[in-house]
Amino acid sequence: MTLLVTGGAGFIGSNFVLDWFAQPGDAGAERIVNLDALTYAGNLRNLAALAGDARHVFVRGDIRDRALVDRLLAEHRPRAIVHFAAESHVDRSILGPAAFVQTNVEGTFTLLEAARVHLQSLALAERGAFRFLHVSTDEVYGSLAPGAPAFTEAHPFEPNSPYSASKAASDHLVRAWFHTYGLPVLTSNCSNNYGPYQFPEKLIPLMIVNALAGKPLPVYGDGLQVRDWLYVGDHCTALRAVLARGRPGETYNIGGWNEQPNIEIVRTLCALLDELRPGAAGSCVRLITHVKDRPGHDRRYAVDARKIERELGWRPAETFTTGIRKTVRWYLDHAAWVADVQSGAYRDWVAANYQSR
C-alpha cells in the first residue's frame, strides 16, 4: 500500500512522513511517495533520517505539473493522497500573492483533476477505499471577536489575507469535487502548529533564532492577537485519524485548546531560553520590540475541536508547557539545521519583511 504525500519536505509534511514511518507494525511499513517542489520552505535535511529507506520515494516536482501527477498516480497506485503542499506564510502572501494563487488554488485544482481521473481507473473495491485528504487551516474562517465562540466546522468562510483566501478557495474546490464528481475527499482545518523543523519565518522559530543571535524580537502591533497553538506531532496523529476513520465529504477542525496572545508566547520563549541557554547580556525579554502591524491582521483564532474528538476519538496529547519546551530544546540541539536554513534567501526575506517596519 502506498500514500502520495504532497509537500512532505516542509514543516508539517516532513513531521507527518517521519511520524508515519515511526508507527509500529504494518502501519509504519506502508510506502510514501513524497512529491515536493523544494521551494524555499522545502528541506530534504528534514528527511535525512530516511536516507536509503525503501519505504520513502522522494520526487522533486510541482503539484501543478499534471503529467507528472498522472504518472505518479498510474505508477504507484496510491490508496490516498495527503495534500500539504502550499505557500503557507501570511506575510509572504502580502508581499507576493501570485505564488499563493498558483500553488494553493491551481495546484489543488490540478491534484483534484488528476485524482478524479485516477479514481475512474481503479477497481470498485480500491475506489471505495480511496481518499483525498486536503490539509487546510483555521484561517479560512477569518477573525473572531474577543469572547466569541470558537470556530466550528459550520462557521462561515471569511478569509482576510491572500494566504487564507487562497486556502479557502482550495477548500471550496475540494468540496465541489466531492459533491459534483463523488471524489472521496476529507478536509482538515487546523490551528497554528509549532515544533521541530518549522522554518524560522513563523512566530515561534523566528523568535527562537533571533533571541539566540541577540537580535530584536519583532512583535507586530500590540502583540495581543490571539492564536490557538498545537504541537505538530498532535496534528500528525489527528491527520492519521481523519485519514483512517473520517467520513468522505466531511471537514474536521483540529486545534490545541490553547489560546494565547502573541506577547505571552514570546515571553514564554524568553523564559525557556533564559533557563536553557542563559545569555551573558541578561534576559532576552530586553529584545522584545513592538513593530508596525501586519495589514489585515486577524485579531483572534480559536478552534472548537469537539467534532474530531466525538467522531474520531482524537485529542491533543501534548500540553503547551510540554510541547514548547521540547520545541525550544530541539532548536538548541539542531544548530546545524538552524544555520543551514538561514541562507542568503532567508536573509533577503528578513530584510524585505522587517526593514520597513
Mask of contacts with ligand DAU, 203-222, x by CB under 6 A?
A: x--x-----------xxx--
Beta strands in 250-295 (DSSP E): 251-254, 259-261, 288-291
| Catalytic residue from among 36, 91, 139, 201 | 139
Q: Is 139 a catalytic residue?
A: yes
Smallest distance from the beta carbon of 124 to ligand NAD, in angstroms?
A: 31
Q: Residue 25, exposed/middle/buried by CB under 10 A (0-12, 13-18, 19+)?
A: exposed
Smallest distance from the beta carbon of 173 to ligand DAU, in angstroms?
A: 17
Nearer to ligand NAD by Cβ, of 12 and 241: the residue is 12
Smallest distance from the beta carbon of 237 to ligand DAU, in angstroms?
A: 18
* Residue in the shown chain whose Cβ atom is closest to ligand DAU: 137
Find all residues with CB under 8 Å of 45, minimum gap 6, and list them.
Answer: 337, 340
Q: By the 8 A CB rule, do 13 and 6 touch?
A: yes
d(CA 90, CA 143): 14
* Residue in the shown chain whose Cβ atom is closest to ligand NAD: 10
Q: Is 138 a catalytic residue?
A: yes
Region near ligand DAU per CB under 6 A, out of 50-58, 77-85, 200-208, 326-334: 200-208
Other C-beta atoms lying within 10 Å of the C-beta of residue 230? 27
Q: Which of 46, 137, 143, 237 binds ligand DAU (CB under 6 A)?
A: 137
Q: By the 8 A CB rule, do 161 and 93 touch?
A: yes
Task: Name which of 304, 326, 330, 331 is nearest 315 in CA terms.
Answer: 304
Q: By the 8 A CB rule, do 193 and 16 touch?
A: no
Dihedral in degrees, nearest 10, Cα atoms 320, 326, 331, 335: 180
Query: From ligand DAU, ligand NAD, none, which one binds at residue 185 (CB under 5 to 8 Å depending on kind)?
Result: none
Nearer to ligand NAD by Cβ, of 63 and 312: the residue is 63
Nearer to ligand DAU by Cβ, of 32 and 90: the residue is 90
Contact between 103 and ligand NAD per CB under 6 A: yes
How many Å is the Cα radius of gyration of the chain? 20
Q: By the 8 A CB rule, do 312 and 241 touch?
A: yes
Contact between 192 and ligand DAU per CB under 6 A: yes
Q: Residue 332, exposed/middle/buried by CB under 10 A (0-12, 13-18, 19+)?
A: middle
Smallest distance from the beta carbon of 200 to ligand NAD, in angstroms?
A: 11
Contact between 185 and ligand NAD per CB under 6 A: no
| Catalytic residue from among 141, 163, 194, 252 | 163
Task: Name which of 103, 237, 266 is nearest 169 in CA terms.
Answer: 103
Contact between 42 and ligand DAU per CB under 6 A: no
Contact set with ligand NAD (CB under 6 A): 6-7, 9-13, 36-39, 41-42, 62-64, 84-88, 103, 107, 135, 137, 167, 190, 192-193, 199
Contact set with ligand DAU (CB under 6 A): 88-90, 137-139, 191-192, 202-203, 206, 218-220, 225, 227, 262, 294, 301
Q: Which residues are catalytic?
A: 138-139, 163
